Amino acid sequence: MVPKDEYRREPRFAPVQLNLTETLSEPQPDQQKISVFTTRIDTIYGVTSLLLAPEHPLVVQFSADNPELQKKVRELLEEQKIAREKGDLAALAKEGVATGRFATNPFTQEAVPIWVANYVLMDYGTGAVMSVPAHDERDFEFAKKFGLELKIVVLPRHANESEKGNAEPLLPYTHEDSLLINSGEFTGLGCQEAQQKMAAFAEQHGFGKPSTTYRLKDWGVSRQRYWGTPIPIIYCDKDGLVPVPEDQLPVLLPDSIAITQEGGSPLSRVPEFAQVTCPKCGGMARRETDTMDTFVDSSWYFYRYADPKNSRAPFDTDTVAYWFPIDQYIGGVEHAILHLIYSRFWTKMMRDLGLVKNDEPVEHLFTQGMVIKNGAKMSKSKGNVVSPDDMIAQYGADATRMYALFAAPPDRDLDWQEDGVAGISRFLSRVYRFAMQAMPRVIAGRSQSLPSTLNPLERQLMRKMHQTLRRLTQEFDGRWHFNTCIAAIMELVNELTADEKAIASGGVADSVLYAITRTLVLMLQAFAPYLAAELWSQMGEDIPLLHAPWPAYDEALAAEHVLEVPVQINGKLRAVVTVSAGSDSEVLRATADQDPKIQAALAGKEIVKVVLLPGKLVNFVVR
């Protein structure tokens, strides 16, 4: 599948150990070490403080005999917790407190103050961060607020020569296509190179080494909701967490439930659901009343489709192995992450458990556009969904379906509007009238073989038919731009109805009329299946329309014999000339030379160059 970064592989330089000093004096050999985690070791000469997460173990030690600091740290932790629960950590105002301790930067041997900050997370990296205000957004904000020092150690690579050395970049300057300054022996290196060399230096001196870290996407699956899959776990005071025995699965949601405005899980207020006996000891126990995120269901439900009647298990491994992976997934861009990631994760988990044999749920992904209504995506949660029911009632399912396909290619967003469906409806009526008019001769033509030579009208119509068929065949196999398929069918029908009188008066053999009408119906079935099925049955075909094979187009019959070639002068269209297909450059040049418009336009000009593309284009470059 296409989205492939559910975890990101990032080169990291971690951990770098900064020695802790009690004072600004020389570092002592027996002092403690704090591991920090960084992706920008190249900025380490710009470190002006060291930040710890409120939960960092050393914070406890630092604040042991300092109640004031303890209180402040508790506040910082609380702020962080609330922000994380709300999911808007980014909006959290940066707060922090100095511990009064100092750490020594192993690169510079400088001592920097140690702070506790509410935006440093204990569960990422090491819970300790080197703060480089000049080259990190967050540190910049923090340092400005608390008056901490800024040290510029990276300059834009493309700064003018004259500015070099004194150009102050707009702070914080975080780009990595840059050069180091004020960085000791590393000054003058590019960021990337510096990262390699400084990591090697750290490793050599035993205070750090590069590593690769994988960042997994968080997915908290439990929800305090009624709608969701029950989590089959029972809490017993005696036995702890007890899984619901397999013969009691699946746990079903209760039917009688009051959805109130109260907070908390609605299921916890349904005693007959929540109160159970422990499967182990038979004593009073409590059922888990959170349900699972609906993403859990959407992560695997499609496996059930391969084995829908299985009453023993969700699905049988071998039955599923026959069908999976799915050949083609079609979904909206808004699914490009989340659902798609989770379903891949779920498949890999089931693979590891031996439940499925495929590594990926899906082979190919087609990302369809969203339906937009009044500038926003149409979605149930936004309540701006427009039902096609009215349109179906007025124009029928065929016209509604075809209109939706005609409005835009499927990979593009579609701003839903209803003008235009009438045109499709008119088109389908026109097809029906034409076909029914021709029907007696179409039926007669069924049993006749095609004429050995086609007359000009027959040839023209057959050419158009094969061109249309070629277009559809290629689209179905490739881009899926059904809007242009429909346009192509319209062009074919336009040509047929334009020649309707000539066709009616016998200008086209019955067998040719049959061949064209039959192909038209086959092409139409993808877009207007009901009309196509009706016409097919009128034609008295032996096999059902759905079983009829897709017809093959004939490249020779589709080929144009006369080509119109644009003639340009300095790239601007000045004439169009007609040549027979297969004409070479000389013929093309001669034809263009003879065109009166071209002769007039070239008069008195010097021809510098002539671009000749046989069958495609002539361009005179003149002075």
Partner RNA sequence: GCCCGGAUGGCGAAAUCGGCAGACGCAGCGGACUUAAAAUCCGCAGGGAGCAAUCCCAUGGGGGUUCAAGUCCCCCUCCGGGCACCA
Which 547-566 positions form the footprint of RNA (CB under 7 A)? Answer: 564, 566
Q: Which stretch binds RNA (CB under 7 A): 301-309, 336-344, 358-366, 453-461?
A: 336-344
Among positions 109-128, residues that touch RNA (CB under 7 A) are: 118-121, 124-125, 127
The two three-digit tokens of residue 120, written as one number: 């440093």
Closest CB 324 distance from RNA, rounded Å: 26
Cα distance between residue 369 and residue 332, in whole Å: 6
Q: Could you count the other beta carbons within 10 Å of the beta carbon of residue 25?
A: 9
Packed helices 482-498 and 456-477: angle between N→C axes, nearest 10 degrees: 170
Cα distance between residue 56 and residue 54, in whole Å: 6
Closest CB 617 distance from RNA, rounded Å: 4
Q: Which stretch binds RNA (CB under 7 A): 18-26, 197-205, 220-228, 331-339?
A: 331-339
Pattern of binders to RNA over 209-248, x per CB under 7 A?
Answer: ------x--x------------------------------
Determine which residue in the list 77, 397, 558, 617 makes contact with RNA, applying CB under 7 A: 617
Cα distance between residue 209 and residue 506, in whole Å: 87
Given the complex with RNA, which of 439 and 621 has the nearer CB atom? 621
Query: Which helix (H) or strand (E) segment is 34 a member of?
Result: strand 33-38
Q: Which residue has the tokens 């979904």?
A: 331
Cα distance between residue 613 and residue 588, in whole Å: 8
Residue 417: left (phi > 0), alpha (psi -120 to 50), or beta? beta
List Cβ neighbours of 329 (8 Å cut-off, separation of 6 or more). 1, 340, 361, 362, 364, 365, 366
Q: Which stretch binds RNA (CB under 7 A): 82-90, 315-323, 342-350, 509-517?
A: 82-90
* Binding residue count for RNA, defined by CB under 7 A: 92
Determine which residue in the list 385, 426, 544, 605 makes contact with RNA, applying CB under 7 A: 426
Is residue 343 close enough to count as binding RNA by CB under 7 A? no
Residue type, 472: L
Among positions 482-501, residues that touch RNA (CB under 7 A) are: 483-484, 486-487, 490-491, 494, 497-498
Is residue 388 close enough to count as binding RNA by CB under 7 A? no
Is residue 82 close enough to count as binding RNA by CB under 7 A? no
Query: Which helix (H) or strand (E) segment is 601 a member of?
Result: helix 596-602
Q: Which stretch binds RNA (CB under 7 A): 276-284, 308-316, 518-526, 567-575?
A: 567-575
Closest CB 559 distance from RNA, rounded Å: 15
Q: Which stretch binds RNA (CB under 7 A): 24-32, 158-166, 405-413, 526-534?
A: 405-413
Determine which residue in the list 355, 372, 439, 558 makes contact with RNA, applying CB under 7 A: 372
Cα distance between residue 61 and residue 32, in whole Å: 12
Closest CB 102 distance from RNA, rounded Å: 20
Phi, psi of 319 (to 5 degrees): -60, -45
Residue 214 burial class via C-beta count within 10 angstroms: exposed 0-12, middle 13-18, buried 19 and up: exposed
Q: What is the DSSP string of 452-511?
A: SS--HHHHHHHHHHHHHHHHHHHHHHTT--HHHHHHHHHHHHHHHHHTHHHIIIIIS-HH
Among positions 131-170, residues that touch RNA (CB under 7 A) are: 136-138, 141
Q: Which residues pair with 51 in a beta bridge?
A: 115, 129
Is residue 208 close enough to count as binding RNA by CB under 7 A? no
Determine which residue in the list 336, 443, 454, 548 makes contact with RNA, applying CB under 7 A: 336
Residue 615: left (phi > 0), alpha (psi -120 to 50), or beta? left
Closest CB 608 distance from RNA, rounded Å: 8
The two three-digit tokens of residue 249, written as one number: 């699965």
- Helix H, strand E, coil C: the string for 378-398 is CCCCCCCCCCCHHHHHHHCHH
Closest CB 605 distance from RNA, rounded Å: 13
Is residue 376 close enough to count as binding RNA by CB under 7 A? yes
Given the complex with RNA, which of 193 and 415 has the nearer CB atom? 415
Given the complex with RNA, which of 91 and 543 has the nearer CB atom? 91
Residue 527: which of 369, 396, 405, 387 has the closest Cα? Answer: 405
Q: Which stretch binds RNA (CB under 7 A): 37-45, 249-257, 302-310, 537-545?
A: 37-45
Cα distance between residue 446 and residue 534, in whole Å: 17
Given the complex with RNA, which of 124 and 227 has the nearer CB atom? 124
Given the complex with RNA, which of 88 and 237 has the nearer CB atom? 88
Is residue 475 close enough to count as binding RNA by CB under 7 A? yes
Cα distance between residue 560 and residue 555, in whole Å: 10
Residue type, 132: V
Closest CB 515 distance from RNA, rounded Å: 23
Cα distance between residue 408 and residue 415, in whole Å: 9
Given the complex with RNA, which of 436 and 576 has the nearer CB atom? 576
Determine which residue in the list 155, 407, 515, 528 makes contact with RNA, applying CB under 7 A: 407
Given the complex with RNA, which of 121 and 533 has the nearer CB atom? 121
Q: Which residues pair with 277 in a beta bridge?
A: 284
Among positions 572-591, residues that touch RNA (CB under 7 A) are: 572-574, 576
Is residue 613 close enough to count as binding RNA by CB under 7 A? yes
Q: Which stretch binds RNA (CB under 7 A): 81-89, 283-291, 455-463, 539-547?
A: 81-89
The DSSP secondary-structure symbol of 46 reads G
Is residue 456 close enough to count as binding RNA by CB under 7 A? no
Given the complex with RNA, which of 167 and 576 has the nearer CB atom? 576
Determine which residue in the list 419, 542, 555, 606 makes contact with RNA, applying CB under 7 A: 419
